[in-house]
Amino acid sequence: MAKKTQHFYDNVYAVARQIPYGRVTSYGAIARYLGAARSARMVGYAMTNSHGKDVPAHRVVNRKGLLTGKHHFQGTNLMQQLLESEGLTVIDNQIQDFDTVFWDPSVALD
DNA sequence: CTATTGACTACCG
DNA sequence: TCGGTAGCCAATA
């Protein structure tokens, strides 16, 4: 099974699964919630390993609501369609009303 | 052990 | 929120 060193990844997956439907969060927000505010890159990096898990990676975007990770999805616009399918509006790889749909774990789980 | 990398963020102009 | 650069951190080779 998973090693102890992956506990950071597991935390990322755990938080990502808790993202409500129709909401999104940023890598930095998750990282900060985990106590590793400077490890935002690791959060995204962990998502790469999220394959095979029920982690809604499409709900995790960068701080500006930009779909930087859509590149890693199967389709070219799969990530965007997934978000739109949840009632969000995405234009030019950027989530509209990002501030409104933003979900902060450190606040929601508080 | 060191070097490389990456789904980031902050800062500067 | 326009672009380019620097800094950070953890995993991988």
Cα-only R_g, chain A:
13
Backbone angles phi, psi at A26, to 5 degrees: -110, 160
**Reported pTM:** 0.91
Residue A105 has pLDDT above 90, yes or no: yes
Give per-residue pLDDT as tens, A39-88. 999 999 999 988 888 999 999 999 999 999 998 998 888 999 999 999 99
Backbone angles phi, psi at A60, to 5 degrees: -110, 115
Encoded tokens for A70: 């859509």
Residues 70-99 of A with CB under 7 A from strand C: none
Encoded tokens for A12: 């990322």
> Which architecture does CATH list for A4-100?
Orthogonal Bundle (1.10)
How distant is C1' of C11 from CA of A109, in Å?
28
- Confirm whether any atom of chain C, the nucleic acid strand, is less than 7 Å from CB of A38: yes
pLDDT, average across residues A17-22: 96
Encoded tokens for A47: 């998502």
Nucleotide nearest to A99 (CA to C1'): C1
pLDDT band at A89 (very low <50, low <70, confident <90, very high): very high
Encoded tokens for A19: 């993202």
**Domain coordinates in residue numbering, chain A:** 4-100
pLDDT band at A2 (very low <50, low <70, confident <90, very high): very low
